[in-house]
Structure 1
Amino acid sequence: MAQTRPTPLKAAGLMVIAGACFALVNTALQSATMLHGAFAPTVTFWQYLIALLFYIPWIWRNRSAVLSTRQILSHVLRVALAVGGVQLWTLGLAHVPIWQAIALILLSPFFVTIGAGLFLREEVSLHRWGAVVVGIIGGMVILAPWSDRFQLAALLPVAAAAFWAASSVVTKQLTRRDNTETVTIYLLLLLSPANALLTVSTGFALPQTTLWLVIGAGLLTALAQHTLVRAYTLADAAFLQPFDHLKLVFNVGLGALVFGFMPDGNMWLGTMLILVASIYLLNREARARPTSPAQNA
């Protein structure tokens, strides 16, 4: 008797592995910047350049896809937004605890919903707007701007989430005319030159104590992205979302173990609001488009 392939189980495992890799990346980035004093733009440049080297064989095999676009300006805009996201994210990790940064980055899907409604003219139902409001309230609970402990640097992960969401909105528009290979290759090829422009002011030299941290972050970034994309090709986003949220657990655990960062009660309450709203939002979209393939934002 033929056995069914455990594809969903494999996809879930890949998503968990990707989350663990991203948690290790964040820990390495925070160690390099917060503990060893490396400049965030410099760390970001080397991280993504090393990740790019991982993808060179794949880029070469799919090089013909580069010539198939007529949306060059949109590709440049998408990369500019993505660069803003990664730069703000690394800068945020240099100043705020991992648990706070990773909880706030979960706001990204809500910014995507806002952008899709305002700029792509997608229909956003009252239920989806309600989920956005609940998610933003969750973010405010985590930030606690009314508290004496609030610092402006805590807004950096929120800004990173907004930039990544804007990049995702442009990606949605690009994929209406370009295939996945074209969109991915332009991001990979333009990301490092754009990061390099921002690194000129801080210099490209890294403290010797951070070399292996940054190399490890670059390799793990490539592995995490590859694993993440593979997971989304095997299962729907609605199925994978709960496993994706496990990255919060990994980041909180590593933050406590390596840096002694212990989340407060606001983090758990705010994160619960964000997770409930995001799961509801994703399920509404899955019911609205039951046959559409999962996309990696």
Structure 2
Amino acid sequence: MLGISLRLGATTCFGFMAAMIKLGYEAGVSTPELVFYRFAFGLPPLLAWIAWSGNYSAWRTQRPMAHVVRAVLGLATMVLAFTALSYLPLAEATTIGFAAPLFAVILSALVLKEHVGRHRWSAVAIGFIGVLIVMRPQGSDLPLIGLAIAALSAFGVACVTITIRQIGRTESTQTTVLWFTGLSMLAVGALMPFYSGVHEPRVWAILVALGFFGGTAQLLLTAALRYAPVPVIVPFDYAQLIWAVLLGWLIWETQPPASTWVGAAVIIASGLYTLYREHKLGRDKVRAEAL
């Protein structure tokens, strides 16, 4: 229950972070600024986490170039995700983002050479049908560029997932997060003299909230894995859609059309079935090894 609660807390923070991004765009904040302050104001929770755990050597790594690659992919993906929110309502952007696990299955077969059976391939195909339902390529009133950027962002999340799985074989979670934060702040910070602006106190409050919710979500996401296995907590990630719909209605008075709900249901069903197959294959492997 603690693991599930932490995961729900993470999805809640991600939902509010997305809302802060949209509010930031509406206030005239540029993308480099939003990304920079996401890291800058998300750094204190990260450092507090490291201090609380006593892992003061988290900055040490045996694979600096691997972290550089992860930072490049992660930063590019974050820029895409932020930009998509400038074009799309919260619900649609969130729903398309749920396609990331589907891309991850494809990449795990192509990059990691993992076996992907017909059941999971079928789930991937059905999931992408759900994405198409949400995007409504024929007759959609959503901007095509926003839909394309959201889809690219989901693919980027899958790439980052595969990269983290590779790095995680030798690096701790704190090391990975710390290097990603530091390298990203250096890269985006170099752009700040050209993009930073003077903001009102209200806008600064949005930026601080953006960093706080983003940094806290990352910590809760990681902490949840300490108290519950992946198959138990991952399904609760879809609760982020509830927050996206609720915040979109409260702040912007937008309500997703029926096609978004139908597409979300198809994507979530395919994701849960993929998760079930992963869990079942894991149990079968354990039984085989026990015999």
**TM-score calculated relative to the size of structure 1:** 0.88
Q: Which of the numbers 267, 272, 278 marks the counterpart of 1:279?
A: 272
Once residues 209 and 235 of structure 2 are traced to their aligned partners in structure 1, the CA distance between those partners, rounded to angstroms, is 27
Distance 1:259 1:31, change over 3 A: same
Give aligned pairs, total. Answer: 281
Name the CA shift for 1:17/1:206 in 2 (closer, same or farther; >3 Å).
farther
Q: Does residue 64 of the first structure (1) align with residue 64 of the second (2)?
A: no
2:17 matched to 1:39?
no
Q: Is the 8 A contact 2:104 2:161 kept in 1?
A: yes
The alpha-carbon deviation at position 55 of structure 1 amounts to: 1.8
Residue 226 of structure 2 corresponds to residue 247 of structure 1: no
CA offsets 1:202-233 (integer angstroms, 9 cap, x no match)? x1225324110110111111222111211121
Compared CA separation, residues 148 and 160, structure 1 to 2 (3 A): closer
Match of 2:214 among 215, 221, 224: 221
- Return 147-156 or 93-102, whichever deviates more: 147-156
Amino acid at match of 1:261: T
> Can you list the C-alpha shifts for 1:160-213, whole angstroms capped at 9, x where unaligned?
111111011111111223333332322222221233345555x12253241101
Contact 1:16 1:246 in 2 (8 A): yes
Name whichever of 148-157 and 52-61 sits farther off: 52-61
Give a deviation string over 1:71-123, Cα, whole Å, max 9, x none.
22221111111101111111111111001000010001011111111111111
- Taking the aligned partners of 1:213 and 1:48, their CA distance within structure 2 comes to 14
1:48 paired residue among 17, 32, 39: 39
CA contact 1:54–1:219 (8 Å) conserved in 2: yes
State the partner residue of 1:187. Answer: 180
Structure 1 residue runs of 5 or longer lacking an equivalent are: 1-8, 293-297
CA distance in 1, matches of 2:174, 2:28: 37
> Could you tell me how far 1:147 is from its partner in structure 2?
1.3
Give the TM-score normalised by the residue count of structure 2: 0.90
CA deviation profile, 1:101-149 (whole Å, cap 9, x unmatched):
0001000101111111111111111111111111111111101111152
| Structure 2 Cα separation of the partners of residues 280 and 83 of structure 1 | 30
CA contact (8 A) 2:123 2:274 kept: yes
Q: Do the aligned partners of 2:34 and 2:207 also contact (CA within 8 Å) in 1?
A: yes
Change (3 A) 1:181 1:148: closer
State how 1:138-149 maps to structure 2 within 5 Å: 138-149=130-141
Whether 2:289 is the aligned partner of 1:269: answer no
Distance 2:44 2:197 in 1: 19
**Which residue is equivalent to 1:96?**
88
Following superposition, the deviation at residue 156 of structure 1 comes to: 1.6
Alpha-carbon separation, structure 1, partners of 2:121 and 2:100:
14
The within-5 A match list for 1:105-120 is: 105-120=97-112
Question: Which residue of 200, 222, 229 corresponds with 1:236?
Answer: 229
Given that 2:50 and 2:58 are in contact with CA atoms closer than 8 Å, whether structure 1 keeps it comes out as: no
Alpha-carbon RMSD: 1.9
1:42–1:206 CA contact under 8 A, matched in 2? no
* Mapped pair 1:258 → 2:255: no
Alignment correspondent of 1:177 = 170
**Runs of 4+ deviating beyond 6 Å:** none
Identical residues among aligned pairs (%): 24
Where does structure 2 lack aligned partners over 5 or more consecutive residues?
Answer: 287-291
Aligned to 1:154: 147
